[in-house]
Amino acid sequence: MPDLPFDLATVDWITVATYAGIAFLAAIVGNIIALGNRFAASVLTALFFAVFYVLWAYWIADIVAPKAASAVIEQPAATSPY
């Protein structure tokens, strides 16, 4: 295999699989709704991908794993011994 400019071991495969699943689901829904019209199916697929991505990234992710920023614990300020 030729030298790649990145290491495949550093790829977040769960994210890749999630996006692929969202795109697949969007393609299925877009094709079912378009009823054979390829242009309408491609437009609907793009629209459904955007909708499913926003749902996954901003709604479901907050339910499953709350943002780390809300879990930050404030450290007491260091006092100077002088």
* 22-78 confidence digits (pLDDT tens): 999 999 999 999 988 999 999 999 999 999 988 888 777 666 655 554 555 555 566
Using CA atoms, how far residue 82 sits from 23, 35, 75, 77, in Å, is 61, 77, 21, 15
Determine the Cα–Cα distance for residues 40 and 27; give it in Å rounded to an integer.
11
d(CA 49, CA 30): 9
Computed from CA positions of residues 39, 28, 18, 8, in that sequence, does the dihedral angle turn out positive or negative?
negative
Note the pLDDT of residue 59.
76
- Report domain extents, the chain: 12-68
